[in-house]
Amino acid sequence: MSFSRRQTLAIMAGSGLSVMLGGRMALATPTEELIANFTGGAEITGEGLTLTAPEIAENGNTVPVEVDAPGAEAIILLATGNPNPDVGVFHFGPLAGAQMASTRIRLAGTQEVVAIAKMSDGSFARAAQEVKVTIGGCGG
């Protein structure tokens, strides 16, 4: 059985569709650099940091997040999938009633939000959560 011209074209078009969907490589480097700057290269072994973020955010322009780490001196918040992963650093003073803060952040797309807390004993704790974003919060 020989293929007609039409069938041949259909087969060629089909094979063209099998485009390699280049897996979006996790560009961990900027995030890792920011973490290293914050920790000074120390290992993150501690516990006691809670990161609260929605599993699904309909609007990436304003995603509520909360960090809570009793006994922390500072907490850095990172959005690993943003053009600039750093979101902010919370420093707690002597009159902080609890080492917690909540705010609203921008997420460019579905990604992992990471928080690292610097504890008063010098150790570091990490928490992360994946947030699915329906509409990204970058660009017009």
Partner 1 sequence: MAENVTPRVRVPKEAAAGEVITIKTLISHPMESGQRKDKDGNLIPRSIINRFTCTFNGKTVIDVAMEPAISTNPYFEFQAKVPESGTFTFTWIDDDGSTYEDTKEIAVA
Measure the CA–CA gap between 119 and 44, rounded to whole angstroms. Answer: 11
Q: Determine if 62 is a binding residue for partner 1 (CB under 8 A).
A: yes
Closest CA to 46 of 27, 82, 73: 73
Q: Determine if 23 is a binding residue for partner 1 (CB under 8 A).
A: no
Closest CA to 106 of 130, 127, 82: 82
Nearer to partner 1, 9 or 70 (CB): 70
Please name the amino acid found at residue 13: A
Q: Determine if 8 is a binding residue for partner 1 (CB under 8 A).
A: no
Q: In a 3-state reduction of DSSP, which class is residue 127?
A: strand
Measure the CA–CA gap between 108 and 137, rounded to whole angstroms. Answer: 5
Judge whether 38 and 86 are in contact, CB under 8 Å: no
Number of residues that bind partner 1 (CB under 8 A): 33
Measure the CA–CA gap between 8 and 55, rounded to whole angstroms. Answer: 46
CB of 47 to partner 1, least distance (A): 21
CB of 29 to partner 1, least distance (A): 17
Per-residue binder mask for partner 1 (CB under 8 A), 93-132, x = binder: xxxxxx-xxxxxxxx-------------------------
Nearer to partner 1, 41 or 140 (CB): 140
CB of 136 to partner 1, least distance (A): 11
Binding site for partner 1 (CB under 8 A): 61-63, 66, 79, 82-84, 86-98, 100-107, 137-140
